[in-house]
Amino acid sequence: MAQKILKLHGYFDVIGRVSVHTHHCFFDVVDTESSEVTLYTNNREFKNATDIDMIRYRPKPVVGFLKTNEKTYPDVKIEFVKANEVNSSFGDVVADVCYTDNGGKYIAFIQDGLYNIDIYINNKRQTKRNIKIDRGLKFQYYKIVHGLILEKYKDVVRYYGTDYKMVFGQLIDNKGTPIEKAEMIILNSDGVLDTYIKTDEDGKFSFAIKNGEYTVKIRAKDSPVKTKKVILDDMHGFTEQLISNSILWNKQQMLKM
């Protein structure tokens, strides 16, 4: 049975030097399990997202193996560099960085396009040039919560009746200009994609997420990918962890709370 809570709204008017109070009040009876989670993916909208198979609609990363018939290559660094794209400040634009596992498997979260792939084996770089990727990230994947607000703290809002909470923020450059269509890729502790969202024309973003440990990758046009570990709980905000103790993330460079 859903829990009910009672909300009291009161209004008081004070008029002139002699206080004359006018009291208005009414009550709301609210169902604390009335929160709704909506999933946005593949240009579609799914209500009550907790009841659907989210894995089926999740964007797929680029997956491959670095091995030969005789040997596998574990813990090898692989960089996906955007071909023919150079930033004056950073040089080559690195879209993603990943490492092979014990079986030589690598997973990269990149969009379709043309890439130079740098492979670092025994501190020596090997480059495969002009590799066309056509099975990368193609659509956004994020959740939104609607319902009765339980608490607000930092850049996070909690709701009754769900473990999901909303995160709100904005990306800006070092001149204070909003960064449009920047990609935010959020992976859970198992390395599985939880959220893939792009900022709007004002550089703003909002999405629903549960408490936990995440790896956050943010990629903007002509800018290399930035990566940071975040532990979301009921005390710390999302954005403040991205900019804390980090050279890549700071208020002056790219992120605004």
pLDDT digits (tens, 9 = 90+) for 165-201: 999 999 888 778 899 999 999 999 999 999 999 999 9
pLDDT value of position 69 = 83
pLDDT over threshold 90, residue 123: no
pLDDT value of position 85 = 74
pLDDT (mean) for 63-73: 90
pLDDT over threshold 50, residue 252: no
pLDDT (mean) for 38-53: 82
CATH assignment of 62-133? 2.60.40
What does the DSSP 8-state code read for residue 249?
A: -
**Long-range contacts, 158-162 (Cβ 8 Å, 24+):** 158/234, 159/35, 160/5, 160/30, 160/32, 160/33, 160/34, 160/35, 161/2, 161/31, 161/32, 161/33, 161/34, 161/35, 162/35, 162/37, 162/50
What does the DSSP 8-state code read for residue 61?
A: P
pLDDT over threshold 80, residue 45: yes
| In contact, 169 and 257? CB cutoff 8 Å | yes
pLDDT bracket for residue 27 (50, 70, 90): low
pLDDT over threshold 70, residue 207: yes
- Kindly report, as residue ranges, where domains of CATH 2.60.40.10 are found in the chain: 36-58+139-256
pLDDT value of position 99 = 96
**Domain 36-58+139-256 grouped into CATH 3.50.50.60:** no
pLDDT value of position 247 = 56
pLDDT over threshold 60, residue 239: yes
pLDDT bracket for residue 5 (50, 70, 90): low
| 82-86, 141-145, 245-249: range with lowest mean pLDDT | 245-249
> Please, what sign has the CA dihedral across residues 189, 191, 193, 198?
positive
| 14-23, 66-75, 107-116, 132-141: range with lowest mean pLDDT | 14-23
pLDDT value of position 14 = 56
pLDDT over threshold 60, residue 62: yes
Tokens 């959020």 correspond to 186
pLDDT (mean) for 222-248: 83
| 20-29, 98-107, 183-192, 216-225: range with lowest mean pLDDT | 20-29
pLDDT value of position 221 = 83
User: To the nearest whole number, what is the mean pLDDT of the chain?
Assistant: 84
Residue 94 exposure: Cα atoms within 13 Å on the Cβ side = 16
pLDDT over threshold 60, residue 2: no
pLDDT over threshold 70, residue 162: yes
